[in-house]
Amino acid sequence: MRLLPVVVTVLLTVSVAYYVYIPLPDSIQEQWKLMMLDAGFRTTMHLAYWSDRLGFNHYIKSIRQSTVGFESILGSEPDGGVAPGVKVSDITFAGVPVRLYEPPAGGEGHLRRGLMFFHGGGWALGSGKKGSYDKINRMVSDELNAVVVSVEYQMYPEVHFPVPYLDCLTAAKHFLSAEVLSRYAIDPDRVAVSGDSAGGNLAAAVSQEIAMDDTLSVKFSIQALIYPVLQALDFNTPSYLQNEHIPILYRPLMIRFWLQYLGVDLSLVPHFTTNNHSSLQHTHITPELRARLDWTGSQGAVKEVPGLLDVRSSPLLAGPEVLAKCPRAYVLTCEHDVLRDDGMMYARRLQDAGVTVTNHHYEDGFHGCFSFITWPLDFDVGRRATRDYIDCDQHVED
C-alpha cells in the first residue's frame, strides 16, 4: 500500500509534464516559462469551452472573467506604482470610453506629444485599462511627455465588424480635433496611433482612413504597429504554416478570431483553414487584388464572407494610392508568430508606396511577448520589444 502514493505521484507528474510540454524552436528563450504560460491559457480556453457547451456562460465571457486576476499579474499597478506622476482619467471621446494618461505637470509653454492606443485581444478580449497595456501607457506618458489615449472599443460577442473599427475611428477623429489638442496642449505635428495584434489592425485601418480624409486638418504623423493582423484572405502564408503550433496564438485560434470579428458562422472554420474562402475561382478576388499579398489561396469551394475584402478589416488590401498617403510606420514583427508575414508584407507595401518604415524584427520573438514584461511572466524579448517601442515614439518629433 505504501507504493500506491508513489505511483500516483509519478503518474500525476508525468501527466502534468505531458500537458505542459510542447516542442519549441531553439531560438525561443525561457522555454519552460512560455510552456507554463501557454498551459495556463489552454486550461482557461478548455474550461471556457465546456462552460459554453453546458450552457453556463458564453466562452468569451468566461475567458474574460478568468483572466481578471491574470491581467493584474501582467503589470497593472496602483496609482503609486508605475509612473506615479501620470494623471489617469476614465472619460469618453465622442461617446467612446477611453482612458486618458497625462504626463506630470511642468514645461509650460511646450506642447506635448499625443498617442492613441488600441489594445489587442482578437477583437474579443482585453482592456487598455488592465495589465501591461496600462503599465506601458503610463511609461510612455511619463518618459515621452505624451498625452496617451487608450480606447475601450466594443468587442465580440456583443458586436461584430465594423463596430470596433468605427469606435476607434470616432475616438481618433475626436482626438485630432483642434479643441482636444488645444485642451491637452498637444503638438498637432506629433500625434501617433498605435496598437498590438487586433489593435494593430485597427490602428492601420484608422490610419488609412484618417490619411484619406481631406476634411481633417490634423493627421497622424506616425503609426506604430505591434505584430498586427492585417488580412484574412490567406491563412497558408509561410508564417501561418511554420508557427501554427507555436504559443500563444495558434493558427486555428487566429482563424476563429477572424470569423468572430466578421460575423461568420464558426462552422466554416474548416473552409477558412484550407483557404477555400479565397480560392482562385472567387470572382470578386481579382488578380490585382491578389497581387497585394505574396501568396495566393488554395483551390476549393467559395464562401462569400461579409467584410472579407473590406480594407477597413484587412488594411493590407488597400491600394497603393491609399498607402502613399499614410504616415511613416514602425512595424514590430516576431519570427515565431503566425502574423509575422502580415506585418512584413505591409511594411514592404508601405515602402513601395514611398512611406518611411522601420521594421524591428525579433528572431526570438513570439506573439504576445510585448505584453510579458512583469515578473513572474516577464521575458527578455518582451522587455526589449517594449523599450524599442517606447524609443520609436520619440521619432514623432522628427
223 contacts 192 by C-beta, under 8 angstroms: yes
Domain-embedded: residue 85: yes
- The yes-or-no verdict on residue 1 having pLDDT over 70 is no
Q: Pick the catalytic residue from 174, 282, 336, 367.
A: 367
Give percent of the chain above pLDDT 70: 82
Domain-embedded: residue 268: no
The rounded distance, in Å, linking the Cα atoms of 250 and 235 is 12
Verify whether residue 46 is a known catalytic residue.
no
Q: How would DSSP label each residue in 273-290?
A: HTTGGG-TT-TTS-HHHH
The rounded distance, in Å, linking the Cα atoms of 249 and 229 is 11
User: Residues 184-199: what's their mean pLDDT?
Assistant: 97
In this structure, what are the phi and psi dihedrals at residue 187, rounded to the nearest 5 degrees? -70, 120
User: Residues 226-242: what's their mean pLDDT?
Assistant: 95
Confidence at 289, pLDDT banded by 50, 70, 90: low
336 contacts 366 by C-beta, under 8 angstroms: yes
Beta strands in 32-127 (DSSP E): 87-93, 96-102, 112-118
The rounded distance, in Å, linking the Cα atoms of 87 and 369 is 27
Domain-embedded: residue 93: yes
User: 317-341 pLDDT, tens per residue?
Assistant: 999 999 999 999 999 999 999 999 9
**pLDDT confidence of residue 18:** 60
Residue type, position 111, single letter = L
Angle (CA) 203 247 69, round 5°: 75
283 contacts 135 by C-beta, under 8 angstroms: no
Domain-embedded: residue 347: yes
Q: How many residues does the chain have?
A: 398
Q: Pick the catalytic residue from 62, 76, 197, 221.
A: 197
- The yes-or-no verdict on residue 246 having pLDDT over 60 is yes
User: 370-396 pLDDT, tens per residue?
Assistant: 999 988 889 999 999 999 999 876 654
Q: How many domains does the chain have?
A: 1
SS3 308: coil
- The yes-or-no verdict on residue 250 having pLDDT over 90 is yes
**pLDDT confidence of residue 309:** 87
- Enumerate the β-bridge partners of residue 208: none
**pLDDT confidence of residue 298:** 35
Domain-embedded: residue 44: no
Domain-embedded: residue 339: yes
The rounded distance, in Å, linking the Cα atoms of 140 and 329 is 18
The rounded distance, in Å, linking the Cα atoms of 335 and 28 is 9
Q: Which domain holds residue 337?
A: 70-232+309-397
Domain-embedded: residue 261: no
**pLDDT confidence of residue 70:** 58
Domain-embedded: residue 175: yes
Full-model pTM: 0.90
The rounded distance, in Å, linking the Cα atoms of 28 and 277 is 33
331 contacts 303 by C-beta, under 8 angstroms: no
219 contacts 210 by C-beta, under 8 angstroms: yes
Confidence at 207, pLDDT banded by 50, 70, 90: very high
- The DSSP secondary-structure symbol of 51 reads H
- The DSSP secondary-structure symbol of 81 reads S
**pLDDT confidence of residue 78:** 45
Verify whether residue 337 is a known catalytic residue.
yes
Q: What is the CATH number of the domain that holds 337?
A: 3.40.50.1820
From residue 387, how far is each of 65, 189, 371, 383 by CA, in Å? 30, 23, 12, 6
**pLDDT confidence of residue 291:** 60
- The yes-or-no verdict on residue 278 having pLDDT over 80 is no
Element (H, E) at 200: helix 198-212
**pLDDT confidence of residue 300:** 35
The rounded distance, in Å, linking the Cα atoms of 278 and 350 is 24
The three three-digit cell numbers of residue 112, written as one number: 506635448
- The yes-or-no verdict on residue 71 having pLDDT over 70 is no
Confidence at 249, pLDDT banded by 50, 70, 90: very high
The rounded distance, in Å, linking the Cα atoms of 368 and 377 is 11
- The yes-or-no verdict on residue 301 having pLDDT over 60 is no
The rounded distance, in Å, linking the Cα atoms of 149 and 153 is 12
**pLDDT confidence of residue 79:** 44
Torsional class of 334: left (φ above 0), alpha (ψ -120 to 50), beta (otherwise): beta
Q: What average pLDDT does the chain have?
A: 87
The rounded distance, in Å, linking the Cα atoms of 116 and 36 is 33
Element (H, E) at 72: helix 68-73
SS3 102: strand
Q: Among the residues of 80-197, which ranges form H helices? A: 131-144, 163-175, 178-183
The rounded distance, in Å, linking the Cα atoms of 318 and 256 is 23
Verify whether residue 367 is a known catalytic residue.
yes
Query: Closest by alpha carbon to 34, among 311, 293, 376, 317?
Result: 376
User: 29-67 pLDDT, tens per residue?
Assistant: 999 999 999 998 899 888 888 888 888 889 898 888 877
Q: Pick the catalytic residue from 337, 341, 364, 393.
A: 337
The rounded distance, in Å, linking the Cα atoms of 140 and 144 is 6
**pLDDT confidence of residue 270:** 84
Torsional class of 100: left (φ above 0), alpha (ψ -120 to 50), beta (otherwise): beta
